[in-house]
Amino acid sequence: MKKVLFVLLSFFLFISCNENVKDSKNISKVLFNKDSENMKIDVFLNGKFFTSYIYNKEYPKPILFPVKAKSGLTVTRGFPLNPIPGERTDHPHQIGHWFNYGNVNGLDFWNNSDAIPKKDMHLYGKIVQTKILELNNKKGYLLSTSQWQSNLGEHILTEKTKFIFSELGSTRIIDRITELEAVKDVSFKDNKEGLFAIRVIRQMELPSKKAGKFIDSNGLVTDVKVLDNTGVNGDYLSSEGLKGGDVWGTRARWVKLYSKVNDQNISITIMDSPKNIGHPSYWHARDYGLFSANNLGQSAFSQGREVLNFSLKSGEKIKFKHRMLINSGDELSTEHIENFYNEFSENKTVKLFNGKNLNKWDLPKNNLWWSINEDGILVAKNDPKQIGSNLFTKKKYSNFYLELDFKFISGKIDSGVFIRGNQSEINPQIQIGESGSLKRDMTGSPYIPKKGYPVEANEVSKNLKLDGWNKMGIKVVENNYIINLNGVQILDYNHEYSNLPGPIGLQIHKSRDMEIWFKNINISEI
């Protein structure tokens, strides 16, 4: 009997511990209530109200408003549709959750609102709901079409959007898949205003001493010079490990905005699919409550170092996929977020180094260079004779996204990451630390054996931490190499060869008395 009880207890513990990795769509009961008169569709999850899809043509875009956590707490700002005393009254175009962009064929779709003077309306665009294609209660999705138009009614883009609503434990989930088809040639000039966005309640903002506008219960607006931050305690955390205001204008796979509201843990996490253009997305994450993933604003966020200026020819399509987690109750840990992300991205993230062993690596014979310390850190230290060493994965990789953390410990660091092996002239190495030939730091730059450095990474000295942990992201697709350092893109390089599959490698260069540490080495195949 004791054995049976133990087995049952173990089973339930397993279920509990793995709650956040189940297929959420299998345990969510979704109900759609269409209100044609008010031009909205109410969404209920497991019998409780979640949000409303509002497609009123008086608004410049369809929105989800309000958005509620499972606990019942509303996480979206009320203004301007349902103002709440004490909240900000800036940016009237930021309502609930929306999807649009600040420069489409020169038209501003982002800032359009009833606050725009009539004489300026020709400068703005609007998104007009055209049809509800399907409301599927069983699978929990809403499918609709819209038109991106000028304010004169010119049809520019056709939008087809699928919302998938689900719930897992204390986490509510919105998956949004938006396909845009060009009716005519369309340009999306780099712009910080976009793309997948939400405006949150005052309590989830980051504490600020900036001035603001507030509205009372009678709708009267008051300008406040110094903000009262009582109960305001929001903070950002990115997949790259950045926090607070440092997240704005950086790249990340996901970002969490978290707070405590009335002693209740609340968080909103937005995820960017690896299949999206511009992945990992830049983040327009403001302290005043605007939270947005922008896949198209490269020049605006990089101070001109990168330029995308994406365009579509007439008839061409592009698809965007994002996920939003609204969690209440127990804090949503980074591990749980990564579980959600793996399921969402359909690209399983594998730990190449787990902090316990090097089973996924081929250790060199008579290993003197590679060890794991008591904190689960991979220690790379040269031998007394400074022979140097390379550590390669057992598995070969083609297209992937690799993340790793590194920290300079001692000596003049000359290390790097081998991409797809170390075949001469075929597979570049991404440098970490000082170049032996150039005698200066070349972190993030590609090194080609027998050819040297074809290009140099941008603004490394500004973003490299010499005395702390650094996070490097390496995205490799065919012959294209994109390198991020601490959330900032420092390299976009096309090699002349489309490289063959090969292992991932770490290097300790010879003739150097050096020690460097690594941790959190993860890879997602693309």
Q: Classify residue 352 as left (phi > 0), alpha (psi -120 to 50) or beta.
A: alpha
Domain 351-525 CATH class label? mainly beta
Which residues are CB-contacts of 213 (< 8 A; sequence separation ≥ 6)?
Answer: 88, 89, 90, 221, 222, 223, 224
Q: Classify residue 461 as left (phi > 0), alpha (psi -120 to 50) or beta.
A: alpha
The sign of the torsion formed by the CA atoms of 266, 219, 94, 192 equals: negative
pLDDT of residue 24: 41
| 8-state DSSP, 220 | -
Partners of 111 in the β-ladder = none
pLDDT of residue 228: 83
Distances in whole angstroms, Cα of residue 459 to Cα of each of 306, 432, 516: 12, 14, 22
Burial class (CB in 10 A: 0-12, 13-18, 19+), 183: middle
DSSP letters, 462-516, are HH--SSS-EEEEEEEETTEEEEEETTEEEEEEE-SS-PPPEEEEEEE-TT--EEE
Q: How far is Cα of residue 464 from the mean position of the Cα atoms in its chain?
A: 21
Q: Are 442 and 456 in contact (CB under 8 A)?
A: yes
DSSP letters, 167-206, are EETTEEEEEEEEEEEESS-EEE---SSEEEEEEB-GGGSP
Q: Are 479 and 495 in contact (CB under 8 A)?
A: yes
Q: Are 133 and 146 in contact (CB under 8 A)?
A: no
pLDDT of residue 351: 92
Query: Which residue spans within 3-109 are E strands per DSSP?
Result: 30-35, 40-45, 48-54, 63-67, 97-101
Rg of the chain in Å (alpha carbons): 25
Q: Are 25 and 164 in contact (CB under 8 A)?
A: yes
β-pairing verdict for 310-312 and 488-494: unpaired
Identity of the residue numbered 345: S
Query: Tens of pLDDT along the chain (526 residues)?
Result: 443 333 333 333 333 333 444 344 445 899 999 999 999 999 999 999 999 999 998 899 999 999 999 999 999 999 999 999 889 999 999 999 999 999 999 999 999 998 899 999 999 999 999 999 999 999 999 999 999 999 889 999 999 999 999 999 999 999 999 999 999 999 999 999 999 999 999 999 999 877 776 655 455 666 767 778 899 999 999 998 899 999 999 999 999 999 999 999 999 999 999 899 999 999 999 999 999 999 999 999 998 888 999 999 999 999 999 999 999 999 999 989 989 998 998 777 899 999 999 999 999 999 999 999 999 999 999 999 999 999 999 999 999 999 999 999 999 999 999 998 876 667 789 999 999 888 899 999 999 877 889 999 998 999 999 999 999 999 998 889 999 999 889 999 998 876 678 999 999 999 999 999 999 999 988 8
Which residues are CB-contacts of 61 (< 8 A; sequence separation ≥ 6)?
Answer: 98, 99, 100, 109, 112, 126, 127
What is the distance between the alpha carbons of residues 276 and 176, in angstroms, rounded to a whole number?
12
Domain 31-346 has CATH 2.70.98: yes
Produce one character per residue of 14-43: b if its CB has 16 or more CB atoms within 10 Å, e if not. eeeeebbeeebbeebebbbeeeeeebbbbb
Only one residue has tokens 């054996």, namely 449
The sign of the torsion formed by the CA atoms of 337, 343, 344, 345 equals: positive
What is the distance between the alpha carbons of residues 11 and 238, in angstroms, rounded to a whole number?
33
Q: What is the pTM of this model?
A: 0.80
What is the distance between the alpha carbons of residues 169 and 458, in angstroms, rounded to a whole number?
43
pLDDT of residue 303: 87
Q: Tell whether omega for the bond before 66 is within 30 degrees of 0, i.e. cis.
A: yes
CATH topology identical between 31-346 and 351-525: no
Dihedral angle, C-alpha 410, 451, 388, 503, nearest 10 °: 100
Domain ranges of the chain: 31-346, 351-525
